[in-house]
Amino acid sequence: MAASYYMAFQVNCSIEGRNSLSHNFDNVKTSLSSVFKPILRELQQFADQPLLPSQSNFAPVDEMKEAIPITDIRGKIPHNFQEGVYIRNGPNPLFGALKLTKSIFGRSSHVWVEGEGMLHALYFNRDSDGRWNVAYNNRHVETETFKLEKQRNKPSFLPAIEGHSPAILSAYLLNLLRFGKVNKYISNTNIFEHSGKYYSAAENHTPQEIDIFTLKTLENWDVNGAWKRPFTSHPKRAPGSGELVIVGVDAIKPFVEVGVISADGKELVHKVDLKLNRCSLCHEIGVTQRYNVILDFPLTIDIKRLISGGPL
């Protein structure tokens, strides 16, 4: 799975995504809270995962939120270089590092792609004298779960991807009971454009619309409520029609669905269940005039395998 993606925009520089939990679930969550508090106190002992020397490039950086001018430019920007914005999206853990937990259930930890998404932008603008003005900014993608942990000012979601099976299952359950979500929405893999709007995305949730000038997160994009499942990080524009082809992979049936979004981005014009018998982590797709190419990878998510003691 790619951890970051680069995309240049030519502009003028002057498991589960379900809506809300029912009241019944809220009541159950409240009544069970006293039961799970002792377990949670033991589970929620977060520790930083150490970085290997080869992983130093993945260490988090401080958030800026305001652009600063770049004055030390080594080399020369080509005269015919286009003005605009160059944006990178990649994981940047909110609380200093990826986390791990240890408990009576074993160990669970984040994998290296799970840091919260951060957008890094370089702005290129040439003045009337032909001199280049370059500025840099970065900002976290503020998903629902990012704002939740930011408000609490501490790690809150238990790692639920890698580790011992009982620890992962307990993390899923406790995250769901406490927050209504089994894991965080990371939005850290890609940034793409459709119909003049820009979106940050990762495979585990719907995308977030982004203002590429300020890097501010605007809102989730669920195609006016028509797409209620994970959303591929790398959608493709259909040749000729301008429609956007997307794929949504989930750990429960339907495992893989393909959708087609109208060229204006306002309508989901087609959706189909591919009827696959497993959750294949399809990170990339191909689109031609006649075919959509869906990659059925051997890398899978299998809840039954996890319950039987194997890896997720």
> Which of 110-139 are b and which e, b meaning 16 or more Cβ less than 10 Å from the residue's Cβ?
beebbbbbbbbbbbbebeeeeebebbebbb
Would you call 217 exposed, middle or buried from its count of C-beta atoms within 10 A (0-12, 13-18, 19+)?
buried
Distance CA 235, CA 260 (A): 10
Distance CA 97, CA 54 (A): 15
Q: Give the per-residue pLDDT at 309.
A: 84
Q: What is the pLDDT of residues 267-281, one digit of tens each?
A: 999 999 999 898 888
For the beta sheet containing 84-91, the strands, ordered from the edge strand earlier in sequence to the opposite edge, are 5-9, 84-91, 117-126, 132-140, 68-69
Specify the 3-state DSSP secondary structure of 14.
Answer: coil
With cut-offs at 50, 70 and 90, classify the pLDDT of residue 28: low
Beta strands in 221-276 (DSSP E): 236-237, 244-249, 256-261, 268-273
Mean pLDDT is highest, among 152-166, 187-201, 291-305, for 187-201
Distance CA 42, CA 106 (A): 11
Q: Is 58 left (phi over 0), alpha (psi -120 to 50) or beta?
A: alpha
With cut-offs at 50, 70 and 90, classify the pLDDT of residue 14: very low
The β-bridge relationship of strands 68-69 and 132-140 is: antiparallel
Q: What is the pLDDT of residues 110-131, one digit of tens each?
A: 988 889 999 999 999 999 888 8
